[in-house]
């Protein structure tokens, strides 16, 4: 295990090599990492991502089947009765603000893009309800354009790993993008988010059962005892993750 002093003395080249090594380890840990929101097209992904603010992906996925059956396209959202739409999305929280965003999104996409969501960052971030994070989700998962999605898990983990000290999501995105090959950005985002949800928890990371332990400057923040750490692993990949660390 590396010492805190060795991480402090790390060169830029050393950081790049460590970050890419960690990304490769995450690819082994989560070979099927993916966007956990259900969608059939780019517009549905935009809607689901807007709904996911301050809400779990599971709850969004429980909400969207009925929502998309009632509002199948941008035009339907543009013409939606606000009170009715709010009832459909109420379970996701902040439903009034989200209804405003969805109606505005539907109107903008219908009026300006003939009902089809645009596929560029510049155009997406001008749409109601879509900021840079949401745009990267859409670009990476609906259009195949590499993007880094800096959500709560992603920012927390890359700071723990010493990849950056930045707090601003856009600065985090650029800092990490300078470390990792562009073609890996979308998959990296999924892998880091999966790791944050399953292993590197906010309050009690499973340090003693983590495949990244040797490369992590924050090792020891959570329990290092293998058995205690193993009990903290969550998700359907738990058995696979524990096998990778010899448990």
220: which residues sit within 8 A by CB, 6+ positions away?
A: 207
pLDDT exceeding 70 applies to what percent of the chain? 100
Half-sphere exposure for 213 (CA within 13 Å, toward CB)? 22
Catalytic-labelled residue, pool 75, 111, 133, 225: 133
DSSP state letter for 208: G
Can you list the alpha helix ranges (DSSP code H) found in 143-220? Answer: 152-160, 169-177, 185-198
- pLDDT-derived band at 169 (thresholds 50, 70, 90) equals very high
Burial class (CB in 10 A: 0-12, 13-18, 19+), 137: buried
- pLDDT-derived band at 8 (thresholds 50, 70, 90) equals confident
Query: What was the pLDDT predicted at 4?
Result: 72
Q: Please say if the pLDDT value at position 122 is more than 90.
A: yes
pTM for the structure as a whole: 0.91
Catalytic-labelled residue, pool 38, 57, 73, 151: 151
Known catalytic membership, residue 151: yes
Known catalytic membership, residue 204: no
């Amino acid at each position: 295990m590396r010492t805190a002093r060795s991480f402090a003395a790390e060169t830029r080249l050393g950081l790049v090599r460590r970050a890419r090594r960690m990304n490769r380890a995450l690819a082994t840990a989560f070979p099927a990492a993916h966007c956990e929101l259900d969608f059939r097209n780019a517009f549905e992904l935009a809607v689901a991502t807007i709904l996911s603010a301050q809400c779990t992906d599971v709850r969004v996925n429980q909400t969207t089947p009925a929502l998309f059956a009632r509002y199948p396209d941008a035009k339907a959202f543009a013409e939606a009765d606000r009170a009715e739409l709010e009832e459909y999305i109420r379970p996701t929280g902040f439903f009034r603000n989200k209804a405003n965003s969805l109606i505005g999104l539907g109107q903008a996409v219908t009026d300006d893009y003939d009902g089809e969501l645009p596929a560029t960052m510049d155009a997406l971030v001008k749409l109601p309800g879509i900021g840079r994070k949401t745009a990267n989700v859409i670009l990476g998962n609906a259009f195949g354009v590499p993007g880094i999605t800096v959500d709560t898990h992603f920012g927390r983990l890359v700071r723990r790993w010493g990849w950056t000290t930045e707090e601003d999501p856009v600065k985090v995105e650029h800092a990490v993008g300078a470390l990792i090959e562009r073609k890996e950005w979308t998959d990296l985002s999924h892998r880091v988010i999966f790791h944050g949800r399953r292993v590197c928890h906010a309050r009690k990371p499973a340090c003693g059962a983590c495949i990244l332990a040797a490369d992590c400057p924050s090792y020891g923040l959570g329990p290092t005892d293998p058995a205690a750490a193993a009990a903290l692993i969550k998700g359907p990949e738990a058995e696979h993750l524990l096998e990778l660390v010899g448990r």
